[in-house]
Amino acid sequence: MGAFVGLLAGFGLLLIWHGATARPTAPRTRVRSQRTREHLIQAGLNGVTPAQLVALQVLGALLVGVLGIALTQSISVSAIFAVFAAAVPRLIVSRLRHKRQADLRELWPEVVDNLTSGVRAGLSLPEALSAIGTRGPEQLREPFRQFGADYRTSGRFNESLDRLKAALADPVGDRVCESLRVAREVGGTDLGRLLSTLSGFLRDDARTRAELLARQSWSVNAARMAVAAPWLVLILLATQRETLQAYDTPTGTLILAIGAILSLIAYRLMIRIGRLPEERRVLR
């Protein structure tokens, strides 16, 4: 126990020294906050801010830590599971983000088909985009409804399209918006053909990715089970007082810390190997 308290004190002094000597990192912090905000939007959590997400992580860690100490009276075991609890909100956001992006990938061809039918019916491009807010897929109506209101207020297509891209925060949406921007600036009579080609391309891409995801999902699930299994065993062992006393020693604490680090490295490595390349917003 004394060694663990000494380790915490040393870590606290290290943080104080780092805070006093480190250079300002406001730009990096701002970039990280913007990336977190974008991930929250992509997960469909528009009302959650990065600060609220961090607060939820801290609250989860505190609750699990206090509950663990109350049930097991083991600081080391409770601290490990408190760290795991702090990571849970991020994992949930990541899971919701990937699920929503997969769902939207199936919906974008329908959006492009609606645009094609609207243009062929004689609507202008801004009018066809605004119409998606009323007759498009339910999950995508609100951003296009905001685009329609914004364009009617300002009359500036490019600025309204930029705000639409920011509201969608989707790589496929970026490609669609930039294709429409080029088509409007260049003009001509090939807009219907361009939209039909884009719709076919998006359908082929969504079909291919769905097949690949179905084939590699077993490896991702196996990686999660392999990482979770040792810690489920630890929960069962925590019912025995002798086990908790062993883990409260300096050696036991070191074993838990090394196990947690190795589990994190193995999980990230297995997920990286099994996951398909993620689409990036290169046209933001």
Report the range of poorest mean pLDDT among 12-16, 186-190, 207-211, 258-262. 12-16
Alpha carbon 244 to chain centroid, angstroms: 36
Q: Is residue 169 part of a domain?
A: yes
Q: Is residue 145 part of a domain?
A: yes
Nearest to 84 by CA among 272, 244, 251, 227: 227
Q: Look up tokens 């949930």; give the residue.
A: 92
User: The tokens of 157 are what?
Assistant: 């297509």
Q: Is residue 215 part of a domain?
A: no
Alpha carbons 199 and 225: distance in angstroms, whole number: 38
State how many domains the chain has: 1
**Would you mind telling me the total number of residues written for the chain in this entry?**
284
Q: What is the pLDDT of residues 86-108, one digit of tens each?
A: 888 888 888 888 888 878 888 88
Cβ proximity of 97 and 43 under 8 Å = yes
What amino acid is encoded at 22 in this protein?
A
Question: Who contacts 118 (Cβ-Cβ below 8 Å, separation ≥6)?
Answer: 127, 128, 131
CA atoms within a 13 Å half-sphere pointing along the CA-CB vector of 195: 25
User: The tokens of 166 are what?
Assistant: 């920011």
Q: Is residue 46 part of a domain?
A: no
Q: Is residue 134 part of a domain?
A: yes
Q: Is residue 64 part of a domain?
A: no
Q: Look up tokens 């076919």; give the residue.
A: 200
Q: Is residue 20 part of a domain?
A: no
Q: What is the pLDDT of residues 50-99, one digit of tens each?
A: 888 889 989 988 998 888 888 777 777 788 888 888 888 888 888 888 88
Nearest to 1 by CA among 83, 84, 78: 78
User: The tokens of 213 are what?
Assistant: 């995801």
Give the range of the structural domain holding residue 150, as residue numbers without chain letter. Answer: 103-206
The average pLDDT across 193-217 equals 78
